[in-house]
A = this chain, B = another copy of it.
Amino acid sequence: MLRNKVAELFGITYPIIQAPMAGGITTPELVSAVSNNGGLGMIGAGYMNPEKLRTCIHEIRQKTENKFGVNVFVPNDFHVTEETIEVSKRSLKSIYNTLSIDENMLLEIPTPKCILQKYEKQLEVIIEEHVPICSFTFGVPSKETITKLKENDIILVGTATTVKEAILIEKLGMDVVVAQGYEAGGHRGSFLNDSENGAIGTMSLVPQVADAVEIPVVAAGGIMDSRGLRAAMFLGAKAVQMGTAFLTCKESGANELHKKAILNATEDETTLTRCFSGKTARGLKNQFIQEIKEKETVLPDYPVQNYLTTPIRKVANEQQNKEYMSLWSGQSPRLAKGQTVGELINRMMEGVF
């Protein structure tokens, strides 16, 4: 295999990164399997409380000696009033009723200050536990945070959906940029651009980002196999980040109904929606998305909507009702296979270099 900048930087064998999917998908089994097979496993810590993150890191260390990383959500300012919450609750009322969710089950909406504190504690855990790689979504960390993490020899990865965002990531001194194309499943990482003008297809985004920055570019969005890996490398990427391909692996912690839904889906069945979290994300269309669609403009921002829909997703999981789960998926579900992480990575690397 030829020298690979990102693989060398991360201390991994292959230029393959498992996307840090939040919400119970990136279990220690998945993360360690990716790292044990020569890729980079990533914990999607966005929704995790700091102690849960610490436990997860410990469990992964018991399963692998290889490098892995953690992804955190950069807190954005948001305004929340009793009125916003009431409007949103009204829009969700019929769904609460359908799933027998009562007011007691709703979570208290934390203040922006609480969310910032949680993020800072996540970063402390990452430093204390000597996690070698930390990636960021929904924004960029402050200069102080960057300095502190770098003093602790942590490699910093930013997520960009446009050239402008990638340039800022480089300018701040971060080490690697993930260029997240429109095809990608789950949340859009847009932060300088809104989700509409940050919707650039991978084929367009990767070479334009690669031309604009000197730090290594990781391509994300629609990549599922060796074809996508090779294509991404020719476009100027030094590595790929894959979500849906790993989500559907045997080792992933995704609900089996979620995996099965992707394995049976076609490329035209995903959509972008704000209905689950208040931030735009790509998933398979279902009843929830359809019911909320016309109310999408009145939904509160992330993370308010996310807290208000948490009981919906929880009950849907308990009831094994995929119509109210968030079935995140990229635009290549036909290429997903119910294989092991080892099979996926080995097939991707066969004859590539």
Contact = CB atoms under 8 A, between A and B. Distances in A.
Interface string A216-242: 000001111101101110111000000
A271 B196 contact: yes
Contacts of A200: 183, 267-268, 331
A193 interface: yes
A269 interface: yes
Contact of A204 (B162, B212, B269, B330): B330
Interface in A260-288: 266-269, 271
Given A183-B203, A200-B268, A236-B227, A208 B163 contact: no
A203 B230 contact: no
A303 interface: no
Contacts of A204: 183, 202, 221-222, 267, 330-332
A332 to B, nearest CB: 4
Interface string A84-128: 000000000000000000000000000000000000000000000
Contact of A203 (B164, B196, B201, B271): B201
A349 interface: no
Contacts of A232: 203, 231
Interface in A166-213: 181-183, 193, 196-198, 200-205, 207-208, 211-212
Nearest to A196: B271
A266 B212 CA distance: 11
A5 interface: no
Given A234-B227, A234-B234, A267-B163, A335 B208 contact: yes
A248 to B, nearest CB: 15
Top 10 closest pairs, chain A to chain B, by CB? A203-B222, A204-B222, A204-B331, A183-B201, A201-B201, A231-B231, A202-B203, A230-B234, A204-B332, A197-B268
Interface of A: 162-164, 181-183, 193, 196-198, 200-205, 207-208, 211-212, 221-225, 227-228, 230-232, 234-236, 266-269, 271, 330-332, 334-335
13 contacts: A163-B334, A182-B182, A200-B268, A201-B201, A202-B203, A202-B204, A203-B223, A204-B221, A207-B227, A208-B267, A208-B332, A227-B234, A231-B232
